[in-house]
Amino acid sequence: MAHPDYMTALPQMWTGESTLRAASSTEVDSRTTRVLVADDQSDVREALQLLLKGDGYETKLVSGPASLLESLQSESYDLVLLDMNYARDTTSGREGLDLVTQIHRLDPSLPIVVMTAWSNVELAVDAMRRGACDFLEKPWVNRQVLASVRSHIERQQGLRRKQQRWDEELDEAVRIQRRLLPGRLPQLPGCQVAGSSRPASFVGGDYFDVVLADGKLALCVADVAGKGLPAALLMANLQAALKPQMLQGTNPAELCRQLNHVIQHATLAGKFISSFHALYQPESRRLAYCNAGHLPPMLIHRDGTYERLANGGAVLGYFRDWNYQQHEVFLEPGSRLLLFSDGITEACNPSGEEFGEERLVCLATENRTLGARELQHEILAALMAHCDGQPQDDATLLVIAVDK
């Protein structure tokens, strides 16, 4: 998939595939099922190997904790068959319990079947609490060992198949949401536009768009309450209702009234969307706007002063029949308009300090002579440095630069 032009100047973590991170698929392959057998007695290891081989399993034999953990870190297995005692002078099972804990930390999904000749109820309960899925006594009964191994491997393979289907569906959702966001943004003579969005999870609830409507520039940024798939579904509903209105050049206040009605019927009680909608007329340099409960965009004037575009009304989908109001501002040459979601201003550093609106305004003011892409790059680079590359919420930034 080609990178959209407006993204090329951004840091790598905000471009291409990283803008909406693709799900990593868990593959269920057709290789021979593998069992890792750990026991300090060679005759026990060999007997278990013969038993499992007869049932079609491939085995690897290890004699102690160090070789067991090394094998798990370098190879993949479907099950671990684990002895609980390795030091000749103890029968407490403490080594085995510690190993169960370590194995579970390495791979919480890997089935662990423990075996010991020194069994008691307390040991069995502790092993299961730490992550073991079954507890067998020595000397063992062959059919019980095979039944345990088979049932836990089949269960795990079933879970992997479900995970694979989920990953495939999530990957498709990522691709669909990527297509809902704009590709190449429209540019007008004397007016540059740059925008990007990064979800906190694989998919998110932020949305932005810019379209040409009869010579005017229609702009929007929106933030669905919540994160993940529920927010993404509501965002898709918003996009479907919003796009035709933007293309028709519907005035911002009327557009908000229509969207409020649509969202009320599309979501659960208590859910809402904050949004900002604007229509820019390049000939007059007038920006008509309506802010529906969204973080006020920042209009940076060429002299370094700024104003917040806060007027309009309540969030969408919460209040029935809200009367939205439209307002206008003049975008003089040299002005810069920043539209953003709270994932920008509320991104925290490791100490819990937010990026904040003040920092955002200072960056925009200091770099107000830059073009839209360059200014966006400076802000996002500073944001990612502030939060160690991990914004905690969906983060969207749209920059409009007027130079003529």
Q: What is the pLDDT of residues 197-254, one digit of tens each?
A: 888 766 667 889 999 988 899 999 998 886 667 777 778 888 888 999 999 999 999 9
CA–CA gap between residue 260 and residue 272 (Å, rounded): 9
- Nearest CA to 331 out of 375, 284, 371 is that of 284
Distances in Å between the Cα of 137 and the Cα atoms of 114, 254, 361 are 9, 74, 68
Residue 338, both tokens: 């920043």
Q: Is the pLDDT of residue 344 over 80?
A: yes
Domain termination residue (choose one: 166, 199, 218): 166
Residues 281 and 362 in one domain: yes
The string over 270-307, giving b where at least 16 C-beta atoms fall within 10 Å of a residue's C-beta and e elsewhere, is ebbbbbbbbbbebeebebbbbbbbbbbbbbbbeeeebe
- Amino acid at residue number 122: E
Beta bridge partners of 220: 209, 277
Residues 376 and 263 in one domain: yes
In a domain, 272, yes or no: yes
Residues 210 and 341 in one domain: yes
Confidence of residue 176 (pLDDT cuts 50, 70, 90): low
Residues 220 and 320 in one domain: yes
CATH number for the domain including 266? Answer: 3.60.40.10
CATH number for the domain including 153? Answer: 3.40.50.2300
Residues 145 and 239 in one domain: no
Residues 221 and 320 in one domain: yes
Residues 237 and 140 in one domain: no
Contacts of 354 (CB under 8 A, 6+ apart): 345, 346, 347, 348
Residues 133 and 102 in one domain: yes
**Parent domain of 314:** 182-402
Are β-strands 112-116 and 79-83 bridged in parallel, bridged antiparallel, or unpaired?
Answer: parallel
Other C-beta atoms within 10 Å of 217: how many? Answer: 23
Find the mean pLDDT for residues 161-167.
Answer: 82
Residues 66 and 152 in one domain: yes
Among the residue ranges 115-119, 337-341, 342-346, 353-357, the one predicted with the least confidence is 115-119
- Amino acid at residue number 129: R
- Nearest CA to 276 out of 259, 301, 300, 263 is that of 259
Q: What is the pLDDT of residues 268-304, one digit of tens each?
A: 666 789 999 999 999 999 999 999 999 999 999 999 9
Backbone angles phi, psi at 137, to 5 degrees: -95, 150
CA–CA gap between residue 232 and residue 207 (Å, rounded): 9
Residues 391 and 364 in one domain: yes
In a domain, 12, yes or no: no
> What pLDDT was estimated at residue 278?
97
> What pLDDT was estimated at residue 29?
43
Q: Is the pLDDT of residue 1 over 90?
A: no
Contacts of 126 (CB under 8 A, 6+ apart): 97
Range 102-108, long-range pairs (CB < 8 A, 24+ positions)? 102/69, 103/68, 103/69, 103/72, 103/131, 104/130, 104/131, 106/69, 106/72, 106/73, 107/72
In a domain, 83, yes or no: yes
Residue 320, both tokens: 């029935």
Q: For all residues of the chain together, what is the average pLDDT?
A: 85
Distances in Å between the Cα of 165 and the Cα atoms of 31, 159, 169, 260, 314 are 19, 10, 6, 35, 40
**Highest mean pLDDT range out of 142-156, 160-174, 194-208, 218-232?**
142-156
User: How many domains does the chain fold into?
Assistant: 2
Residues 161 and 194 in one domain: no
> What pLDDT was estimated at residue 88?
53
Q: What is the pLDDT of residues 52-105, one digit of tens each?
A: 999 999 999 999 899 999 999 999 999 999 998 876 545 567 888 999 999 999
Residues 157 and 187 in one domain: no
> What pLDDT was estimated at residue 31?
56
